[in-house]
Amino acid sequence: MSVALVGVIIWFVFRQFANLSEVTAVIRDLTPAEIAILLLAAAWNLLTYWFVVVVATPGLRLPQAAVLTQSTTAVSNAVPAGGAVAVGLTYTMLSSWGFSRSRGTLFVVVTGIWNNFIKLGMPVLALAIVVLQGRPGGGRTTAATIGLVALIAAVAVFALILRSETFAARAGITAGRWASALLRLARRGPVHGWDLAVTKWRGRVIGLVRHRWHALTVSTLVSHLSLYLVLLVALRVTGVTDRQVGWAEVLVVFAFARLVTAIPITPGGVGVVELALITGLTRAGGDDAAVVAAVLLHRLLTFVLPIAIGGLTYLYWRRKRSWLDSAPPLSDSGTVVET
């Protein structure tokens, strides 16, 4: 079903906005210098998330973060329901380096929360910039308002869990009930002890967030903006000028397209994200063929390339037996214990 949906979307995009020969001509006109700039932006985009992983996993080394990030990204992008498979691979890789399952859970949950905070906040930030520039939009204002409300609600729930052990236990019980209801549909038994799990996890999160919230926020924001930078560079080298579509307008389109990935319609949002980006950028004033070429380059460098790199890093992890050592112990405050 996902493959069919992707095919329909890609067919629609080319039929509506440009033909293949026009797009190919735009890409062929790129100079070696422009290609080099694109590749540098793509490399920077990959690098920035490694630091998010290091910050969220005390004791993890940068090379390990690189292998973990690229391998799980490849699985997430290439496999149906890849997000769930990637979580399983995350636990396996961290375990091979001596990290406990609880520390793996801490990493998965904290990075997921911070990524969603930034993902919800970016449309609000982008629209605020556009409004300050004097170009508001009614539909986008409504969407940004919804995003702001969702962001405030998410932050409030997270803050209450950290502030109150009682609230954390109740949240665990509620989440356990929802999980049990879903499992019943699959004829599986209910879950138990989620209140204790959440309160125990809360203690670790408090320590990690207290010591690293600023580094988590900055590194995650830089990572998201780096992804946007690849799109902006791709637009400029394919001929979409700032006069046609300004950087702030590109940020708005990018931010709202990123929200689409919150709904796992296809692996990595492939097809759906392209449609959202191309539609938004052409309506903003970009040349059809140039926009399609830029979006295809952007997705090639941020979606396809990480899959190829991830396959190599996975094989490297499987062969790197010297990495199978013990992780440094973690204190209750969420910091590495010096030995």
* Ordered DSSP codes for 108-140: HHHHHHHHHHHHHHHHHHHHHHHHHTT---HHH
How far is residue 59's CA from residue 336's CA, in Å, rounded to a whole number? 6
**Packing angle, helices 247-260 and 272-283, rounded to 10:** 150
Which residues of the chain carry a pLDDT beneath 50?
Answer: 1-2, 331-333, 337-339
Alpha helices in the chain (DSSP H): 2-17, 20-28, 32-56, 62-78, 82-96, 101-132, 138-163, 165-185, 194-237, 247-260, 272-283, 288-299, 305-319
Supply 290's token pair: 């140039």
pLDDT at 136: 58
Identify which of 88, 55, 95 has the alpha carbon closest to the alpha carbon of residue 326.
95
Reported as a single tens digit per residue, the pLDDT across 246-273 is 999 999 999 988 887 766 666 677 778 8
Identify which of 279, 145, 260 has the alpha carbon closest to the alpha carbon of residue 136.
145
Q: Is the dihedral of CA 279, 308, 86, 331 positive or negative?
A: negative
State the DSSP H helix or E strand holding residue 59, giving kind and residue range, or none if neither.
none
- Tokens 């994200």 correspond to 273
**pTM of this structure:** 0.83
Identify which of 269, 267, 250 has the alpha carbon closest to the alpha carbon of residue 259.
269
| Residues 195 and 176: beta-carbon distance below 8 Å | yes
How far is residue 327's CA from residue 324's CA, in Å, rounded to a whole number? 9
Q: How many other CB atoms are found less than 10 A from the CB of residue 302?
A: 22
How far is residue 244's CA from residue 67's CA, in Å, rounded to a whole number? 39
pLDDT at 178: 73
Identify which of 163, 161, 294, 322 has the alpha carbon closest to the alpha carbon of residue 235.
294
| DSSP-assigned letter for residue 330 | B
Half-sphere exposure of 129 (CA within 13 A, CB side): 14
| DSSP-assigned letter for residue 264 | -
How far is residue 336's CA from residue 7's CA, in Å, rounded to a whole number? 48
